[in-house]
Amino acid sequence: MQPKLVEARSVLVLGGARSGKSAYAQNLAESAAPERFYLATAEAGDAEMAARIARHQAERGDGWTTVEEPLALVETLRAVARPGRRAVLVDCLTLWLSNLMLAGRDVEAEVARLAAAIGALESPVVFVSNEIGLGLVPETKLGREFRDWQGRANRKVARACDAVVFVAAGQPTLLKPPPRLDLRLR
C-alpha cells in the first residue's frame, strides 16, 4: 500500500538492510526538486565498500551532487540545505552514528544537534536510517550500545521530521503522521 500524500519538508525513511529504503528515499528527493544533493556518510574503508559506493553513485545518475561527510553532518546540512529548487538526501544516519561512535564523539549531543537543526533547514531533506532493533540482541557490548543508540537516534530524528516512512520488502508504510481510524458509528 502506498503512503497517502502528506505535506512534508523533512522525511525520515526507515527500513532494514536491502529493504528498498534508499531507492524510495531517492525517488522522494527526485520528485521534490530538480537540483539534488546526496549527503553521503559512508567512508570507503575497504575495496568492497569502495565498489559499493561507486555502484550507488552510478545508480543515482545525473542530476545529483554528492557531498561526502562522515562526521560533521549538521554543519554540512546547513550549508547545502538552502532555499531554492534543491533537495537533500542524507544516506545514511546509521553509518553517521557508527562514525561518531568510532571517533569517540558525544553521540547524544550530536544527535540532539541534528534533531534541533531539522526544523530550520531551508530545503526539503530526506533522511535514511536502518531500523536495527527488530533483530537479535548483539553479542558484544559495543554492538548493544550501537543498537541502543540507533534506536534513540531514530526516535529523536523521527520526532523532528514532518513525516516518517517505514520500508519493508520494497513497500513503504507511512508511520507519521500516524494513520487515523474512523471509529464513528455510521
Catalytic residues: 56
β-pairing, 125-130 vs 35-40, is unpaired
Residue 143 · residue 105 · CB < 8 Å: no
C-alpha cell at 19: 529493504
The contacts of residue 115 (CB under 8 Å, 6+ apart) are 156, 157, 159, 160
* CB neighbours of residue 148 within 10 Å: 13
What one-letter code names the amino acid at 13?
V
Tell me how far the alpha carbon of residue 124 is from its chain's centroid: 13
- Residue carrying the nine cell digits 554492538: 143
Q: Which H or E element spans position 147? A: helix 141-160
- The rounded distance, in Å, linking the Cα atoms of 131 and 113 is 21
The contacts of residue 123 (CB under 8 Å, 6+ apart) are 9, 33, 81, 82, 83, 84, 86, 87, 88
